[in-house]
Amino acid sequence: MKYIKTFIACTVILFITVIPTQSKAVMIDGNGWVKLSQKEKTFYLMGYYDGVIAGVGQGVRFAMNQRTPDPKVFNKAFDIWANVGINTLLPKIDEYYSNYKKRKIMVMHAIMQILVEMKLYKMQ
């Protein structure tokens, strides 16, 4: 009986601590972006880039049901970021948000739009 109570208590604690909560991650739009210093923008993009790499890797592993993603598949999924450094992307985001009408768009969506436009331009 003692073990059952301990098991139930541990199970309750486990469920309470594992239940997903809303992310505390900072999501900013163009209004927030224009207020950041160049250093803050660089750090933001460094974190975003690291998240993209991790996300692509996890997504490819999950989709392929493998522990390690196939390098060819990973490279294709990651291709949109290929050869686009922070020094290239940062001024493009600044330029994007120079249009006041676009300032309500979240930075992560603006980045994807910019990258897709760059890729399409390169393909022409």
pTM, entire model: 0.65
Alpha-carbon gap, residue 45 to 51, rounded angstroms: 10
* Mean pLDDT in order along the chain per 10 residues (124 residues): 51 45 68 95 86 65 61 64 80 96 93 84 70
Residue 94 has a pLDDT of 97
Alpha-carbon gap, residue 37 to 56, rounded angstroms: 28
In the chain, what are the domain boundaries? 24-123
Q: Is 105 left (phi over 0), alpha (psi -120 to 50) or beta?
A: beta
